[in-house]
Amino acid sequence: MLPTRSFGLREAMARPPSPIQIGIVGLAVLLAVAIFGVAVVVERFGDAPLFLFAVPLALASIGWGLRGGMVLGVLTSLLAGAWWVERSYPGGGAWLSSRVFTCLLIGLLLGWFAESRHRLMRAIAHHRECSLDLIATANFDGYFTAVNPAFTRTLGFTAEELLSAPFTDFVHPDDVEPTIAAIVKQTEQGRDVFNFQNRYRTKDGSYRWLEWMSSPDPIGRELIAVARDVTDRKQLEELEHEYKQRLENNVRERTKELNRRNAELEEARRETLYRLALAAEYRDDDTFKHTERIRNSAALLAAELGLTESDVALMRDAAPLHDIGKLGVSDAVLLKPGKLTADEFEHVRWHAELGARILSGSSSHALQAGEEIARSHHEWWDGMGYPAGLRGEEIPLFGRIVAVADVFDALTHERPYKPAWPVDEAAKEIRRLRGLQFDPQVVDAFERLDPYLLAVIAHPHDVPRAASRHTWAA
């Protein structure tokens, strides 16, 4: 920062005058002497010509500041005294004192004002010369009229080169149109421009980014503008933008990879659940189709009841786990071809609670739903089921759905203890148990589906889209 300075009498006297200043003060002295001569020769005007001393006082102050004003103040005081003596002391000492005081005061005030203005102009010029910002004035015709040295340092052109061509000749072709629009905004609308950016050509053919603040002077038909070189900032912004783009691309790729791995994990999870269900099914169904049929028929029933797609998908994952508790039932009981004893039947019934215990405590939605199904798919609508004797809507909906799918599949397929029923007979049995063993709404959804397809489906694509809502008559 430049130090501030106060221009007093001592400092003003310390600077030697320039030839121009000496010439201006000399002219002022001659003018003062001429005014004195007129006042002496032309007696009829009295002391009126002496008031014209203000003119040489102002001239000397403008030319030499405080020193010039004081020199002419002293000179005009002496000339006024000489006139007073030559005219035989008119007005007495009071007249002389007032004229001397007035001349000295006027010289001092005018000199101080001129010196302050000179100081301000020197400070402005100094700042203009030393400023790192680019300062310029331009006329409304599109030519620079003055530029400071920062232009030369930044662009490499001389001041003459910059002033000799329209300033749009130095603007990047892509920025000419917005630059002209900014000029029109000032010259025709009288509005200031802030933070306007464009590129200016340098001597070596490259371009520098400049950020402008400009204001119009309609009276002088000039634009007063200050610009700052922001090339480094723009380059950093471009690098930042490129970095963000690369970062976004990396995040996008990582997200894709994460989604792919999540999909693989989800598929592995589904496969694990399915294999777990097969492990239980293997005990009494060596075709491994029961699990698949329950998965898809339960999902069809859930969709028919209007469950959301996510709940239908959850049903497809969880339904195969309904008999996971059979892992704890002995082969002698599970594969017995004849009628079970009361103890054996009680042993079989325990698989519902055992399956729920196997699946309990998991954070997986599929295992939680599987726990719910395993525990409740043998509950009856009228409360006569097991293991908890729940009735009606106390039974979870997933359990009510799987109950219908499980019984219908068990009826229509051979088991060690019974032959397969005809599909029509099995469907009638489902209808007969409506409101007793099964939820009436689930049975209604069952009747809107084709029982022949439910009896044979192993994969979702085995069910034609139009047939999945086929209404059948027994």
**Is residue 328 a contact partner of residue 351, using CB atoms and an 8 Å limit?**
yes
The C-alpha atoms of residue 280 and residue 263 are separated, in whole angstroms, by 26
Domain end marker among 163, 197, 229: 229
Same domain, 397 and 314: yes
% residues pLDDT > 90 (the chain): 44
Taking only the tens place, the pLDDT of each residue in 400-423 is: 999 999 999 989 988 777 789 999
In a domain, 324, yes or no: yes
Same domain, 92 and 112: yes
Domain end marker among 229, 260, 287: 229
Same domain, 404 and 450: yes
Same domain, 17 and 63: yes
The C-alpha atoms of residue 26 and residue 276 are separated, in whole angstroms, by 117
Per-residue confidence (pLDDT) for residue 251, from 0 to 100: 92
pLDDT of residue 8 exceeding 60: no
Same domain, 310 and 408: yes
The C-alpha atoms of residue 155 and residue 159 are separated, in whole angstroms, by 10
In a domain, 474, yes or no: no
In a domain, 124, yes or no: yes
Per-residue confidence (pLDDT) for residue 331, from 0 to 100: 65
Per-residue confidence (pLDDT) for residue 283, from 0 to 100: 57
% residues pLDDT > 70 (the chain): 88
Which CATH number belongs to the domain containing residue 171 in this structure? 3.30.450.20
Average the pLDDT over each of 96-110, 120-134, 235-249 and give the range with the smallest value: 120-134
Same domain, 317 and 387: yes
**Is residue 423 a contact partner of residue 446, using CB atoms and an 8 Å limit?**
no
In a domain, 432, yes or no: yes
Task: Please give the average per-residue pLDDT across 89-97, as a whole number.
Answer: 84
Q: Which of 117, 108, 45, 44 is CA-nearest to residue 76? A: 108
In a domain, 2, yes or no: no
Per-residue confidence (pLDDT) for residue 45, from 0 to 100: 72
In a domain, 440, yes or no: yes
Same domain, 207 and 292: no
Query: In sequence order, which residues have a C-beta less than 8 Å from that of residue 135 and are 6 or more positions away?
Result: 128, 147, 148, 150, 225, 226, 227
Same domain, 78 and 164: no
Domain end marker among 130, 156, 174: 130
The C-alpha atoms of residue 260 and residue 254 are separated, in whole angstroms, by 10
Structure tokens at 120: 């301000």
**Which has the higher per-residue pLDDT, 426 or 65?**
426
Per-residue confidence (pLDDT) for residue 423, from 0 to 100: 93
Taking only the tens place, the pLDDT of each residue in 214-273 is: 999 998 899 999 999 999 999 998 899 899 999 999 999 998 988 888 888 777 776 776
Structure tokens at 320: 């195969």
Same domain, 40 and 84: yes
Same domain, 331 and 408: yes
Per-residue confidence (pLDDT) for residue 473, from 0 to 100: 29
In a domain, 168, yes or no: yes
In a domain, 285, yes or no: yes
Average the pLDDT over each of 49-53, 178-182, 186-190, 470-474 and give the range with the smallest value: 470-474
User: How many domains are contained in the chain?
Assistant: 3
Per-residue confidence (pLDDT) for residue 60, from 0 to 100: 86
| Cross-strand partners of 438 | 434
Same domain, 352 and 445: yes
Which CATH number belongs to the domain containing residue 412 in this structure? 1.10.3210.10
The C-alpha atoms of residue 171 and residue 162 are separated, in whole angstroms, by 12
The C-alpha atoms of residue 219 and residue 201 are separated, in whole angstroms, by 30
Cis amide prior to 387 (ω within 30 degrees):
yes
Same domain, 57 and 156: no
**Which has the higher per-residue pLDDT, 427 or 336?**
427
Q: Residue 86: phi, psi to the nearest 5?
A: -65, -30
**Which has the higher per-residue pLDDT, 399 or 12?**
399
Q: The domain containing residue 420 runs over which residues?
A: 272-469
- DSSP for 354-374 reads HHHHHHTT---HHHHHHHHHH
Host H or E run for residue 212: strand 207-217
